Amino acid sequence: MNREGAPGKSPEEMYIQQKVRVLLMLRKMGSNLTANEEEFLRTYAGVVNSQLSQLPQHSIDQGESIDQGE
């Protein structure tokens, strides 16, 4: 039994999907990606599009306070 993998996905596919997700989150948080990381995202553009639709749509907390209804 493979406890870590999704059914029908190879370890390589899982790695690519996870790496794309992490790089997209880093980019969304304002980190500058290396040229190699940007090239990786371009190479796997189909995975990027799939992962973009799964990222949270709200912005990362930028120190904004929550209105307490005052």
Query: pLDDT per residue over 4-60, tens digit each?
Result: 556 788 999 899 989 988 998 999 899 999 999 999 998 988 877 777 777 666 555
What does the domain layout of the chain look like in residue ranges?
11-51
- Burial track 29-60 (b if 16+ CB lie within 10 A, e otherwise): eeeeeeeebeebbeebeebbeebeeeeeeeee
CATH number of 11-51: 1.10.10.490
Cα(48)–Cα(34) distance, rounded to whole angstroms? 16
Taking alpha carbons only, the member of 25, 12, 13, 15 closest to residue 51 is 25
With 70 as the cut, is the pLDDT of residue 2 above it?
no
